[in-house]
């Protein structure tokens, strides 16, 4: 399964990239994806799947566009 | 009394008279500082209907008990006046060394009134005040003005100044300090300019009265260090506020083409990653260990300090996706002393009105060079610039032809860089902000998109807006401190009563702060209502175009989606219920009395019948 991942802000420090397609073994949770990408959960994180915010326990599957960002609280 | 000097310095520019006045502990506890002091003084001292650009208007410079103390992000000062842009209450805060110097000079508040006969700057050293000629700096940009003053007084001095935009009374001119710092979106710089006041320079040599000085010094410095460590650990300041641009683009909330569109394929060219890679320097405010002023070289080679709002409004909203050119527009706004958000909104509205055929002109979205030319003209009110200097509300009234619907402002203040055509809670936040459409008071958008059904209008959204207004528009604006450690690094709010109590010797909890915040919001609303006694709930509506089906995105994530007026009205009702304001959006009598505003009720009842 392939997903498209975009990582925003300081989280790129953990992942070493900001945007790429990655292969996943099957459906995984958002939380599992964060572990695969070595993203440390020092602060709250936002995960957006196909433009909609999701919880960390929610599933990610083939063809999804995932955007991972800090939980912005606004300038 | 600890925590406050208890002193107000009143400076009349017409008579050159100086008054040192005092306030008591009851006043201090009721209004705390910053925005609280500002609204109370403006309410008491300004007759409704005064010309905001006339000598009767007053410029308030106010700090709070935490301001200037070595503790996380306490370098901020509030500037306030009746706004020439909106006609209502206007304020803003900015990082400046004035914060610490004003307190060390022995004052919590400056009231500047009257009008100097000739261009003037004020030099305050403790309780000595000098009125000095500003001939050599009048007509200069804010960078050159700051350098001129640094040469005279050194860089450690506190300075507030204006650029040519303020001198020429551009209605969205701001007050500037320390290179990239700016505050007072609703024309506070124009108020300063209308008084022929180029700069306020402050040097204080005394001590700030603190109940537990050793203790606060220890805790404050430790916490400053801790905040810096969290920032380093997370890397927040690598992109600072600009990380949010890519996120807004992904969730279809980016301002593009006068907010007609919500995302753009070229947005990546001006995102936080590109900006961070182009960085040549980083600037920040005093007492800050998470500096967010990412600085790049603009097209002309100037150092331009950027943040998300600037890039969103001067970049994507104008469909300019060349980072160096966005930097140029940013630098020019800073140098002329114009608000980047309103400038972006004004230029986008102008391009849109031309595009719609409502007005003749040759400015098109994406034309960076023309945008620069127009920006310069606005700052000097040169030709078409005189029209642009008035802001979108007045421009739309003059243009007519239905352009009011896409004039992107609330109460006359241009909307900041979040496109809410399908984000109802954030639209409510803009619509109910105390100064017009500003993002600082209730940035509810991530909560809304991640924690709620985006298109819903439930009470929890109104509750969140009020909660954030109490914290961001209340607490941080009256104690006075920057909200970033809390919002961006998760620095617990419970730290703030600790600082406050050790400084003042009081024993307050967060609940005490919320009551002050509600009092301030009620009095600010009363100020607006006194100025506009035919007040009704439509003042709290976002622009019409967000409700227009023909404006819905044609493709992408929110294709076909818009705000719905009947549901928005219900959301607004929830907001009024939580605040215990009536259905017109006016605080009820019992609400004001419950907040200790008995005298203010009597005054307000002269203008409007209260429920």
pLDDT at residue number B320: 98
**How is residue B452 written in tokens?**
């709620």
Q: ω before B480 within 30° of 0 (cis)? A: yes
Chain A residue whose CA is closest to B483:
A75
Contacts of B559 (CB under 8 A, 6+ apart): B552, B553
Of A8, A44, A51, the CB nearest to B243: A8
Residue A9: band (very low, low, confident or very high) from pLDDT cuts 50, 70, 90: confident
Sign of the Cα pseudo-torsion (B281, B285, B290, B294, in order):
negative
Residue A43: band (very low, low, confident or very high) from pLDDT cuts 50, 70, 90: confident
Subunit contact B308:A75, Cβ cutoff 8 A: yes
Cα–Cα distances (Å) from B295 to B179, B246, B280, B330, B331, in that order, read 11, 19, 6, 11, 10
Residue B158: band (very low, low, confident or very high) from pLDDT cuts 50, 70, 90: very high
pLDDT at residue number B498: 98
In this prediction, residues B42-54 reach a mean pLDDT of: 98
Query: Of B5, B505, B1, B502, which is closest to residue B208 (Cα–Cα)?
Result: B5
In this prediction, residues B203-213 reach a mean pLDDT of: 97
Beta strands per DSSP E along B138-263: 158-161, 175-177, 181-183, 197-203
Cα–Cα distances (Å) from B265 to A18, B316, B453, B512, in that order, read 16, 10, 26, 47
- Residue pair A30/A49 in contact (Cβ under 8 Å)? The answer is yes
Condensed to tens digits (0 to 9), the pLDDT of residues B281-317 reads 999 999 999 999 999 999 999 999 999 999 999 999 9
- CATH number assigned to the domain comprising residue A48: 3.10.20.30
Q: How many domains does one find in chain A?
A: 1
Residue A44 pLDDT more than 90?
no
The rounded distance, in Å, linking the Cα atoms of B248 and B263 is 8
The rounded distance, in Å, linking the Cα atoms of B315 and B143 is 23
Contacts of B446 (CB under 8 A, 6+ apart): A46, A53, A71, A72, A73, A74
- Residue pair A59/A27 in contact (Cβ under 8 Å)? The answer is yes
The rounded distance, in Å, linking the Cα atoms of B31 and B14 is 29
Most A CBs within 10 Å, among B235, B265, B418, B440, to test the A interface:
B235
Subunit contact B273:A18, Cβ cutoff 8 A: yes
Of B250, B272, B488, the CB nearest to A73: B488
Residue B181 pLDDT more than 80?
yes
Q: What is the mean pLDDT of chain B?
A: 97
Of B233, B241, B273, the CB nearest to A75: B241
pLDDT at residue number A71: 82
In this prediction, residues B276-285 reach a mean pLDDT of: 96
Chain A residue whose CA is closest to B416:
A75
Residue A75: band (very low, low, confident or very high) from pLDDT cuts 50, 70, 90: low
**How is residue B362 written in tokens?**
């040759």
- A45 assigned to some structural domain: yes
**3-class SS of residue B582:** coil
What's domain B7-203's superfamily in CATH? Aldehyde ferredoxin oxidoreductase, N-terminal domain (3.60.9.10)
Residue B368: band (very low, low, confident or very high) from pLDDT cuts 50, 70, 90: very high
Of B233, B243, B490, the CB nearest to A72: B243
pLDDT at residue number B14: 98
What range does the domain containing A46 cover? Answer: 2-70
- Residue pair A49/A60 in contact (Cβ under 8 Å)? The answer is yes
Distance from CA of B159 to the nearest CA of A (A): 24
Residue B391 pLDDT more than 90?
yes
**How is residue B608 written in tokens?**
């409007």
Of B235, B292, B486, the CB nearest to A10: B235
**How is residue B418 written in tokens?**
């979040």
Chain A residue whose CA is closest to B253:
A51
Residue B143 pLDDT more than 90?
yes
What residues in A contact B241, CB-CB < 8 Å? 75
Residue B549: band (very low, low, confident or very high) from pLDDT cuts 50, 70, 90: very high
Domain boundaries, chain B: 7-203
Subunit contact A74:B557, Cβ cutoff 8 A: no
B136-140, B451-455, B496-500: which has the minimum mean pLDDT? B451-455
Residue A74 pLDDT more than 80?
no
Q: Is the ipTM of this complex over 0.85?
A: yes
Chain B residue whose CA is closest to A17:
B273
Q: Hunting for tokens 């309410």 — which residue is that?
A: B43
Subunit contact A74:B272, Cβ cutoff 8 A: no
**3-class SS of residue B184:** coil
Which residues of chain B have a Cβ shorter than 8 Å from any chain A Cβ? 230, 233-236, 238-239, 241, 243-244, 246-247, 250-252, 272-273, 292, 307-309, 439-440, 443, 445-446, 449-451, 454, 486-490, 556-558
- Neighbouring C-alpha atoms within 13 Å toward the C-beta of B136: 9
What residues in B contact A5, CB-CB < 8 Å? none
pLDDT at residue number B283: 95
- Residue pair B424/B562 in contact (Cβ under 8 Å)? The answer is no
Residue B187 pLDDT more than 90?
yes
Q: What is the phi/psi pair of residue A27, to 5°?
A: -65, 135
pLDDT at residue number B378: 98
In this prediction, residues B513-519 reach a mean pLDDT of: 98
Residue A72 pLDDT more than 80?
no
Q: Hunting for tokens 């506020």 — which residue is that?
A: B241
What residues in B contact A18, CB-CB < 8 Å? 273
pLDDT at residue number B234: 86
Which residues of chain A have a Cβ shorter than 8 Å from any chain B Cβ? 6, 8-10, 12-13, 18, 42-44, 46, 48, 50-54, 65, 67, 69-75
B17 Rama sector, left if φ>0, alpha if ψ -120 to 50, beta otherwise: beta
In this prediction, residues B565-570 reach a mean pLDDT of: 98
pLDDT at residue number A41: 84
- A75 assigned to some structural domain: no
Chain B residue whose CA is closest to A13:
B235
Residue A10 pLDDT more than 90?
no
Distance from CA of A26 to the nearest CA of B (A): 24
The rounded distance, in Å, linking the Cα atoms of B391 and B394 is 6
- Rounded to whole angstroms, the maximal C-alpha distance in chain B is 66
pLDDT at residue number B419: 98
What residues in A contact B309, CB-CB < 8 Å? 75
Residue A73 pLDDT more than 80?
no
């Amino acid at each position: 399964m392939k997903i498209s991942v975009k990582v925003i802000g300081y989280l790129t420090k953990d992942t070493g990239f900001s945007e790429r397609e990655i292969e996943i073994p099957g459906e995984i949770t958002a939380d599992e994806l964060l572990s695969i990408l070595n993203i440390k959960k020092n602060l709250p994180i936002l995960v957006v799947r196909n433009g909609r915010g999701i919880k960390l326990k929610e599933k990610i599957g083939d063809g999804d566009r995932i955007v991972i960002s800090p939980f912005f609280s606004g300038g | 009394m600890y925590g406050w000097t208890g002193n107000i310095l009143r400076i009349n520019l017409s008579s050159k008279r100086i008054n040192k006045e005092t306030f008591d502990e009851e006043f201090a506890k009721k209004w705390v500082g910053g925005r609280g002091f500002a609204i109370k003084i403006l309410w008491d001292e300004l007759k409704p209907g005064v010309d905001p650009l006339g000598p009767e208007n007053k410029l308030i410079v106010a700090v709070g008990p935490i301001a200037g103390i070595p503790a996380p992000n306490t370098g901020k000062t509030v500037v306030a006046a009746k706004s020439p842009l909106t006609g209502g209450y206007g304020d803003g805060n900015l990082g400046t060394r004035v914060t610490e110097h004003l307190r060390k000079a022995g004052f919590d508040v400056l009231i500047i009134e009257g009008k100097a006969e000739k261009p003037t700057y004020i030099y305050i050293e403790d309780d000595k005040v000098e009125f000095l000629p500003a001939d050599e700096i009048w007509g200069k940009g804010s960078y050159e003005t700051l350098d001129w003053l640094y040469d005279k007084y050194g860089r450690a001095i506190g300075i507030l100044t204006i650029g040519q935009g303020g001198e020429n009374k551009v209605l969205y001119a701001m007050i500037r300090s320390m290179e990239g710092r700016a505050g007072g979106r609703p024309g506070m710089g124009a108020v300063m300019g209308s008084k022929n006041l180029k700069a306020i320079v402050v040097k204080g040599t005394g001590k700030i009265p603190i109940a537990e000085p050793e203790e606060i010094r220890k805790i404050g410095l430790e916490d400053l260090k801790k905040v810096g460590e969290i920032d380093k650990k997370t890397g927040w300041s690598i992109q600072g506020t600009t990380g949010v641009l890519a996120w807004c683009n992904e969730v279809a909330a980016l301002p593009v083409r006068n907010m007609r569109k919500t995302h753009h394929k070229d947005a990546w060219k001006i995102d936080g990653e590109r900006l961070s890679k182009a960085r040549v320097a980083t600037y920040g405010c005093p007492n800050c260990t998470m500096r967010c002023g990412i600085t790049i070289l603009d097209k002309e080679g100037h150092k331009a300090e950027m943040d998300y709002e600037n890039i969103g409004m001067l970049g994507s909203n104008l469909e300019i996706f060349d980072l160096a050119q966005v930097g140029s527009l940013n630098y020019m706004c800073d140098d002329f002393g114009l608000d980047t958000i309103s400038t972006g909104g004004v230029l986008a509205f102008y391009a849109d009105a031309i595009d719609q055929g409502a007005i003749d002109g040759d400015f098109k979205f994406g034309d960076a060079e023309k945008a620069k030319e127009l920006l310069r003209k606005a700052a000097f009110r040169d030709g078409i610039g005189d029209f642009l200097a008035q802001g979108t509300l007045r421009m739309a009234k003059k243009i007519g032809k239905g352009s009011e619907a896409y004039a992107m402002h609330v109460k006359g203040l241009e909307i900041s860089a979040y496109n809410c055509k399908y984000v109802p809670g954030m639209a409510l936040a803009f619509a109910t902000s105390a100064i017009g459409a500003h993002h600082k008071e209730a940035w509810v958008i991530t909560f809304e998109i991640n924690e709620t059904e985006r298109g819903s209008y439930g009470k929890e959204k109104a509750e969140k807006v009020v909660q954030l207004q109490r914290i961001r528009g209340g607490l941080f604006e009256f104690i006075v401190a920057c909200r970033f450690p809390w919002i961006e690094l998760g620095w617990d709010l419970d730290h703030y009563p600790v600082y406050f109590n050790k400084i003042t010797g009081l024993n307050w909890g967060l609940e005490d702060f919320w009551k002050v915040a509600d009092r301030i919001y009620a009095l600010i609303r009363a100020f607006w209502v006194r100025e506009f006694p035919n007040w009704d709930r439509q003042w709290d509506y976002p622009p019409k175009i967000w409700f227009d089906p023909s404006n819905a995105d044609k493709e992408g994530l929110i294709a076909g989606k818009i705000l719905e007026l009947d549901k928005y009205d219900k959301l607004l009702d929830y907001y009024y219920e939580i605040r215990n304001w009536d259905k017109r959006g006016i605080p009820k009598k019992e609400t004001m009395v419950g907040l200790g505003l008995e005298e203010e009720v009597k005054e307000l009842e002269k203008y409007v019948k209260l429920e």
